[in-house]
Structure 1
Amino acid sequence: MLLCFAVDRCVVSPTGDKLYIINRLQHKLLTLARDGTLVATLTFPAVESPQDVHVTPACQVLLICGMQILQIDSEGRSKLATLVTDRDGVYFPLSVCFSSTTSSIIVGMLMNNNIMVFRVK
């Protein structure tokens, strides 16, 4: 099966069995299986269009959506938690990653020379 969509960001799970794709124009996070089969589509409101996606070594999916960092279930079907918001000082987040060495979420922002680091308990 051939799927056609715009790819703004993509990341492969550490186990190699899933591919997470952001389509900003359609405000979606798509999850594909290794063979290209569509596993799930998660759609967001236009004001909260996904910007970046990261998968931790423990297969936790982190997604920038609007002014928030969300945790999404590993199938890409639903939001599990809001981890960071603008109330934490994050404005226009553009990139996210997780450091297993420091157990921290690292966030880069647009129009700002700062990188924010949030310890995860």
Structure 2
Amino acid sequence: MSTDTETCNIEGICELSGGEVVISDWGNCKVKLLDQEYLVVGHCDVPMHPFDVCHIGGNEVAVCVNNLDERRELHFINISKGKLVTARKLSFTHSCYATAHHGNKLYISSYTALYVYTMTGKLVKKLYENKSGDYTVQRIAISNDGKTIYITNDSNHQLITLDNLGNKLTTLTNVKGLCTFCYYYYYTSPDLVRPYGVHATTAGHVFVCGFDSDTVLQVDKDRRTKLATLARAQDGVYGPYAFFFSRRTSSVIVGGLKDTLLGIKVR
């Protein structure tokens, strides 16, 4: 937007039922509405940096607004005729960094733990926790049937799969090593360095992006191995934070650093 004063770093992406795309612009503290041609047609300001965004239903989205101890909030925004209006918000005692919605439950990441809440903000339970690093529960995605939960563990370069009770099912790990001859770090899977965003389609496909490797990957159904690398830096991927699979266009929509929104056709 011409009024933006900072780079548009896209931290979250979701799609409305009508095909419009909603993104969270971390740098400018805005939530933006894009039409089907990905042009900005509406926006609203939020009081602090917005992170993840998810579609709740109809024309409502939920956006994580987080800034250390000052704000730990989830803002519910209604969208109508290009106008974005914050209808209500929930406040938490922990960080609110990523969110997913399934059924009548909200799933909230606090960087190191995954919590389940009701839609009114009542804590149901802490589903999972990992204190082995600072960003062990980075982003979350939920399967269409609600039985499987996917978590990116940035600190340990992992994609973790849980059941809906919080039990760990599988772990896809990118092992980091140090070359004893040249003293450079290497990875067993260089296409997945610092896994960040994760998305599960209604058809059961799972995608994950590597922030430092500038990649978007598809993993197999048991989440143990990589199936394919869909895009790399040379395709326009740069510091990917978030992405979304659009059934309408059969495209993976990727957002990240440098004012970049990339559409990748998936066959």
Q: TM-score normalised to the size of structure 1? A: 0.89
**1:62 pairs with 2:207:** yes
Structure 1 residue ranges, 4+ long, deviating more than 2 angstroms after superposition: none
CA distance in 1, matches of 2:199, 2:146: 14
Q: Could you report, residue by residue, the CA deviation over 1:11-66 in whole angstroms, capped at 9, with x for unpaired residues?
A: 11112110001111111111011222211011125571101100111111010012
Match of 1:78 among 193, 213, 225: 225
Q: SS of the residue aligned with 1:64?
A: strand
Q: Which amino acid aligns with 1:17?
A: K
CA distance in 2, matches of 1:78, 1:4: 24
CA distance in 2, matches of 1:74, 1:8: 21
Q: Is the CA contact 1:63–1:70 (under 8 Å) kept in the aligned structure 2? A: yes
28-37 or 100-109: which moved more?
28-37
Equivalence map 1:11-30=2 (5 Å): 11-30=141-160
**Structure 1 residue aligned with 2:165:** 35
Match of 1:52 among 197, 202, 207: 197
Equivalence map 1:96-111=2 (5 Å): 96-110=243-257
Deviation at 1:89, TM superposition (A): 1.5
**1:88 pairs with 2:235:** yes
Q: Which amino acid aligns with 2:207?
A: L
**1:4 pairs with 2:151:** no
Bigger Cα Rg: 2
Identity over the aligned pairs, expressed in percent? Answer: 39
Cα RMSD after superposing both structures: 1.6
Q: SS of the residue aligned with 1:105?
A: strand
Q: Is the CA contact 1:44–1:50 (under 8 Å) kept in the aligned structure 2? A: no
Q: TM-score normalised to the size of structure 2? A: 0.42
For CA contacts below 8 A with separation 6 or more, give which structure has more relative contact order: 1
